[in-house]
A and B are shown apart, each in its own frame.
Chain A
Amino acid sequence: MTALEDRPDVAQEIGRDRRRKEDARLITGRTRWTDNLTVPGMLHLAMVRSPFAHARITSIDTSAAAEATNVVAVITAADLGESQGACINAWPITPDQVAPVHLPMAVDRVAFAGEIVACVVARSAAEARDAAELVDVEYEELPAVVGLKEAIKDEVLAHPELGTNKSALWVFDSAAAGTGGDVEEAIATARESGVVIEREYRQQRLIPAFMEPRSVVVDPTGEQITIWSATQIPHILRFALAATTGVPESKIRVIAPDVGGGFGGKLQQTPEEMIAFAVARHLDKPVKYTETRSESLVSAHHGRDQIQKLTLAATKDGQVTGLKVELLADLGAYVAIVGGGVPVLGAFMFNAIYKFPAYHFACQTVLTNTTWTDAYRGAGRPEATFAIERLMSELAEELGVDPLEIRERNWIKHDEFPFTTVAGLEYDTGNYELATAKAKEMFGYDELRAEQQRRREAGDTVQLGIGISTFTEMCGLAPSRVLGSLDYGAGGWEHASVRMLATGKVEVVTGASAHGQGHETAFSQIVADRLGVPFEDVEVLHGDTQIAHKGLDTYGSRSLVVGGEALVKATDKVIEKARPVAAHLLEASVEDLEFSAGRFSVKGTDAGISVQELATAVFAAHNLPDGMEPSLDADATYDPINFNYPHGTHLCAMEVDTETGAVSMRKYVCVDDIGNVINPLIVSGQVHGGLVQGIAQALWEEAVYDDAGTLVSGTFTDYLLPTAADTISFEIDHTTTPSITNTLGTKGVGEAGTIASTPAVVNAIVDAVRHLGVDDITMPCTPQRVWRAIQEGGRA
């Protein structure tokens, strides 16, 4: 394509630490969170939620609530009937997947504590909440099943009518797929003449805990029903509402205004959104629902929650010959929008950066009487990375080899790319050697190993451990054909429009939907460079289905690598549309024009015209080439040709008090390779935040249920989010191996830190106390668990 060759040679914006356009409003409180909105005549909803994990609803008496001050209505599922729609399960991973029907408001049975059974509508939020206390629901408690190992027995059923808790068994086998050998053979050989590492790891349940509680406003009074929602997925939500309620898609407008974080947690078609939609239609009045934090923790979907049974086979010189993965994954009470498929996203990542000759993966998903689970930052890939990076360190220990050395013996060398893995993915580029060498130097690896040795020999009370994680991930979800082959219900393309306004300013519309990522800034930088216009002249619009009419939203580290590529293509179309106009006005032939830094000029002359001047000329339309439409605007929809594969080497030093079990982080170094970087400042922020979420899984966070199915960690006093006082400053850097699957050479970064950091931290803690007989500590590594592991190790 000529446009690609003609792009400005000097990148002025890409790679620059632009301060964010978004910040002016966010630092002054001029924000547009959904809960800030008030629509004339708006009523407020409060939800009545089940306190029981599993119960039959025998009666609901709404009379006292209905008589309370300023209560307009008390609504149950019986009032809404089919108009409440249903929550969709968009990723039925097997044809015979067992999945209960998930109605937003329960009809006669609840399947988790927190499920909505009624809803009060009042003139103020406080009055609605007061009256919700007066709704008298009689329950007949049923036995609840909590925990994977209980659920798999199929003795107590989460949904008795289904006859089983087992939802789907999804299997990948490299011998069957033709991507590698037979894993059982590899394990059998290793048992005879090599080494076999067998472990069971627990991925505890986590809560995404975005800072902005979910909120939704529905206004049914216009020609269209308008929904403002704190969602990551306005386009998918619009489709889902239309598909499950029968309201035509063209009659629904979804707006995601300022959205305060998501991390996958707002990638959902929620019961609360569905109920607000149904109640607004039922009453023909605007309504608002904003959850409390405690409601959020019990009802917004959770993440992770797997038991991983792992078998790694290797030769005595440390060459891995096979990996067998058997997973149990807890879906919670219902199969969420992509919840069924989250473990499948991990299936392709257990082999990580390594050349394994044989691989077998099997995942059994299971229903329990707990909050549903779905995507949480990394979605399947952090679980896989944790498992393999822990195993590689265990293998190193078994063979008495340095854990970096064992990785190097097995990883794909930089000159072996593109490389087709045993899981069947083609990694386009990477340079693990380079990132590792840089990280080692920044970390002072050899010096810290020497200090560790000294302290071990001296028998220090506080021991030092060094943890390693050399991760990769597949991101840029996703090539539509791949999603189709995995039975996902939609595609993975993204859409962009570039509109040239009469004054030469540029409006960019993206189907990605930012909630903290800085799209307005980074996408402005891309267009400014490519189109050769000032950064300030570009306005990025998103998150409103009426403005961004097409899109597949933001998750899976896709906005830049998929949405950014759509934007590149739309921008290039604008340039191509402008070219004949420029030739016409400059009275030159198209062949004699060159385009550079926003200007078409006639080769070898001073004559030229800028693309912004052309926008004005096209608006006037007084003098255009014959037959040309008076518009430079262009759209592009891009379907990625492949995933891309960021990678990095993370090194962590932890101090462990062997007498108390308390741990503290001393140093964390990471060198990530995410290809070309549009805005280094934004990228570093993504890495820092990602690191802390991953570290939090290793050290602090866990959604805990009691045997009755009550979420014990149901407030921010019990669910331990890290604070500034718990964390340290990080040393981060990059290597740059551009991706060859997109024009900009970029890779995803949103999930990288979270995927990489958890195993680095746990490896470091285990490394600190390995000599005391410890080879694993269950996450989160609380002082109690660390202390117990040391006691059980028996060498303290």
Chain B
Amino acid sequence: MVRISLTVDGAKVSDDVEARTLLVQYLREKLGKTGTVIGCDTSNCGACTVHLNGTSVKSCNVLAVQADGAEVTTIEGLASNGQLHPVQEAFRECHGLQCGFCTPGMIMQSADLLKENPNPSEEEIRLGLEGNLCRCTGYHNIVKAVQHAAAAGGAQ
């Protein structure tokens, strides 16, 4: 067991974890942060995407011990002061989700994409979301949602 201390969605947490524990397992099983989900076992789907020190990562591809000392933001911590993040708002507004399983990862990845590139073209959005799979929407409305969020200042 290894002792780790980190900040998750603004709260300081500290736990003993097995060295092999994935960040996503730690979030879900130890912290009850079940908003972040697991969709595959080959890091293809991106459903587990979170922000690690402000940058998107697939949390199935990061060991919990690698997040020691870091700041992690999940879908559950993206809204602030009761206000949805512009990307969350845009996904609802543009119907960018159906079953909603890929949505946490899609939103976290989209937020990171807009932070890097506040005014992306459609092609840049599509390339930026290439690591996140969705089976319901055909991506059409997800792309629209990201465009909508960009127009609404989603980069902040």
Contacts and interface: CB of A to CB of B under 8 A. Distances in A.
B40 interface: yes
Given A211-B135, A212-B39, A729 B143 contact: yes
B56 interface: no
A723 interface: yes
A521 B98 CA distance: 12
Quick one: which of A29, A126, A292, A515 has the most chain B CB within 10 A? A29
A259 B99 contact: yes
B87 to A, nearest CB: 9
B122 A28 contact: no
A689 B93 CA distance: 17
A684 interface: yes
B99 A723 contact: no
Interface stretch (A18-26, A72-80, A475-483, A583-591): A18-26
Contact of A724 (B28, B36, B125): B125
Quick one: which of B126, B139, B144 has the most chain A CB within 10 A? B139
Interface string B81-114: 0001000100111010111111110010000000
A724 B126 contact: yes
A252 to B, nearest CB: 25
Contacts of A516: 98-100, 136
A29 B75 contact: yes
B22 to A, nearest CB: 10
A692 B143 CA distance: 14
Interface in B118-156: 122, 125-127, 129-144
Interface stretch (A355-363, A391-399, A603-611, A713-721): A713-721
A35 B28 CA distance: 10
Contacts of B76: 28-30
Nearest to B102: A211
Nearest to B129: A724
Contacts of A685: 95, 98, 136-137, 140-141
Contacts, number: 177
Given A28-B84, A30-B35, A724-B143, A19 B98 contact: no
A260 B134 CA distance: 10
A212 B99 contact: yes
B34 interface: yes
A688 B84 contact: no
Size category of the binding interface on chain A: 35 or more
Interface in A35-51: 35-36
A212 B37 contact: yes
B92 A19 contact: yes
B74 A29 contact: yes
Quick one: which of B103, B129, B132 has the most chain A CB within 10 A? B103
Contacts of A681: 95
Given A213-B38, A721-B133, A27 B97 contact: yes
A689 B135 contact: yes
Contacts of A684: 95, 141
Interface string A644-655: 000000000000
Given A688-B138, A717-B42, A723 B129 contact: yes
A29 B36 CA distance: 7
A686 B75 CA distance: 25
B106 to A, nearest CB: 9
Interface in A677-700: 681-682, 684-686, 688-693
Given A688-B141, A721-B135, A211 B99 contact: yes
B10 to A, nearest CB: 14
A681 B100 CA distance: 16
B133 A689 contact: no
Contacts of A24: 92
A753 B122 CA distance: 23
B70 interface: no
A199 interface: no
Nearest to B87: A27
B88 A28 contact: yes
A263 interface: yes
Contacts of A263: 135
A35 B41 CA distance: 15
Nearest to B140: A688
B122 A729 contact: yes
B122 to A, nearest CB: 7
Given A28-B88, A685-B137, A723-B133, A294 B126 contact: no
A473 interface: no
A692 B136 CA distance: 9
B47 interface: yes
Contact of A26 (B78, B93, B100, B142): B100
Contacts of B136: 211, 261, 516, 685, 689
A210 interface: yes
Nearest to B77: A29
A264 to B, nearest CB: 12
A170 interface: no
Given A27-B103, A293-B42, A729 B140 contact: yes
Contacts of B53: none
Contacts of B88: 27-28
Quick one: which of B37, B74, B130 has the most chain A CB within 10 A? B37
A580 interface: no
Nearest to A294: B41
Contacts of B107: 27
Interface of B: 18, 25, 28, 33-42, 44-45, 47, 74-76, 78-79, 84, 88, 91-93, 95, 97-104, 107, 122, 125-127, 129-144
Interface of A: 19-20, 22-31, 33, 35-36, 126, 209-213, 258-261, 263, 292-294, 515-518, 681-682, 684-686, 688-693, 715-717, 721-725, 727, 729-730, 753
Closest 9 CB pairs of A and B: A29-B35, A260-B101, A516-B99, A26-B100, A692-B138, A716-B44, A36-B34, A29-B75, A688-B138
7 contacts: A27-B100, A28-B78, A35-B37, A260-B99, A293-B45, A689-B136, A716-B45
